Amino acid sequence: MADTSSSLSLPFIQPNQAQKHVTHNEALRILDVLTQLSVLADDQPTPPVSPTEGERYIVGDNGTDAWLGHDGDVALFENGLWQFFAPKGGWRAYVLNRETLIVHDGTDWIDLDSAELQEIEAFGLGMISLPATPFSAKLNAALWTALYQADGGDGSLISTVNKETSADDAGFIFQQDFATRALFGLFGSDNLRLATSADGLAFHDGLIVDAATGVVDQPNLPRFKGVTNFDNYLPADTWTKIAINLTEFNDQNAFDSANNHFVAPAPGSYVFGASLTFKQNASDQARIGARLVRNGVEVVSGSVGEITGPHVSDQTVLNVQTMVMLSAGDTLELQGHLRGFDGYFSATQTSLWGYKVG
């Protein structure tokens, strides 16, 4: 039978031992020293000049005097003498003067707040980690901050999200009750992508930055260019809606060719422009006018233009351009005017265009 326990070296009472209370009391004394272990300090090599009965220390490096040769040991002052206990891996102690919890790794004492955690397969903060996300956290706020120069850092903070191949994904997914609502990052290519979804299934790209050129594209930006494929006849002195009945491009299907007007898919500021080419009927002396009209009745400020004759048929062009604030569902149309004489605005050379800017 061993004389002491394997972990704390508590003495065992032996068969037929006399004065068993001595051995029992010694075991209790060691338990009293090492259980719920706290020490006054762990960074001094020299014993205090006037220690108090029961004080405990962890001997610092290069111990001197009564602590010579006991670096890292737990030192107890009892009955006027220093007694020492050699630590084993896993022992923990609270250091009162530094307000720090330390642990012995089998070789040295290390601060728990500086201990390295390596090759951890799963980590859950406030929750059990999910199978597909070995690192999982459930909390209301998180902060990453740079290590300041005064604290030994360089003042910068860089986070890296890496992927293996161009076809893989590296980015951030934003969800509502675990249903995806937005993506930001490199998804399926090396182009930077920002996309949204109302159902987590269909995604709409709001922003794509080409990796090779840095060119920014907004694939779903409301924008269009419409033209007329026939000569629009205008009676004299009458504001007339121009039939813009074909589109060269029409993102978001915002231009309604059937009704010859633009319909704002979202509120915001829009830029519009129009080009009207005069075609003579009775006279080349008509004054050519143009304007943009919101919701069929409201003339958009800054959009009215006019030029006087004489004109060259199929060559004289009036251009107007302006910015306007629209609410979702507002319409915008192009109207033309010929003062004094009737005439036409020429097919294929008369157009209306626009796009959202903010």
Q: Looking at per-residue confidence, does 158 or 7 come out higher?
A: 158
Q: What span, in angstroms and rounded, lies between the C-alpha atoms of 128 and 118?
A: 19
Calculate the CA 69 to chain-centre distance.
54
Question: Please, are residues 169 and 187 in contact by the beta-carbon 8 Å criterion?
Answer: yes
Query: Does 21 score more than 60 pLDDT?
Result: no
Calculate the CA 140 to chain-centre distance.
15
Task: Tell me the mean pLDDT in the region 56-82.
Answer: 93
Using alpha carbons, list the distances in angstroms from residue 172 to 78, 116, 192, 215.
Answer: 60, 27, 11, 22
| The pLDDT value given to residue 112 | 82
> Does 47 sit behind a cis peptide bond, omega within 30 degrees of 0 on the bond before it?
no
Among positive and negative, which fits the CA dihedral 60, 65, 67, 68?
positive
Question: Please, are residues 328 and 251 in contact by the beta-carbon 8 Å criterion?
Answer: no
The token pair at 9 is: 């070296």
Q: Give the tens place of pLDDT for each residue, 102-133.
A: 999 999 998 887 656 677 788 899 999 988 89
pLDDT band at residue 261 using 50, 70 and 90 as cut-offs? very high
Task: Tell me the mean pLDDT in the region 9-22.
Answer: 55
Q: What span, in angstroms and rounded, lies between the C-alpha atoms of 112 and 93?
A: 10
Residue 141, number of CB atoms within 10 A of its CB: 4
| The pLDDT value given to residue 1 | 44
Q: Give the tens place of pLDDT for each residue, 76-109.
A: 898 899 989 889 888 888 999 998 899 999 999 9
Question: Please, are residues 62 and 71 in contact by the beta-carbon 8 Å criterion?
Answer: yes
Mean per-residue pLDDT over the chain, rounded? 90
Helix (H) or strand (E) holding 108: none
| The pLDDT value given to residue 189 | 97
Least confident of 52-66, 231-245, 291-305, 332-346: 52-66
| The pLDDT value given to residue 131 | 84
- Own/partner pairs for 261-264, CB < 8 Å, 24+ apart? 261/296, 261/331, 261/332, 261/333, 262/224, 262/331, 262/332, 262/333, 262/352, 262/354, 263/329, 263/330, 263/331, 264/222, 264/326, 264/327, 264/328, 264/329, 264/330, 264/331, 264/332
Query: Does 357 score more than 90 pLDDT?
Result: yes
| The pLDDT value given to residue 143 | 95
Three-state DSSP at 311 gives coil
Sorted by sequence, the CB contacts under 8 Å of residue 15 that are 6+ apart come out as: 1
Using alpha carbons, list the distances in angstroms from residue 71 to 86, 262, 279.
Answer: 9, 84, 103
Query: Does 8 score more than 90 pLDDT?
Result: no
Q: Give the tens place of pLDDT for each residue, 35-44.
A: 668 899 999 9
Q: Give the tens place of pLDDT for each residue, 137-194.
A: 999 999 999 999 999 999 999 999 999 999 999 999 999 999 999 999 999 999 999 9
Helices (H) and strands (E) in the chain, counts: 1, 28
pLDDT band at residue 18 using 50, 70 and 90 as cut-offs? low
What pTM was computed for the model?
0.62
User: DSSP state, 11?
Assistant: B
Sort 349 into a burial class: Cβ within 10 Å, 0-12 / 13-18 / 19+. Answer: middle
| The pLDDT value given to residue 14 | 60
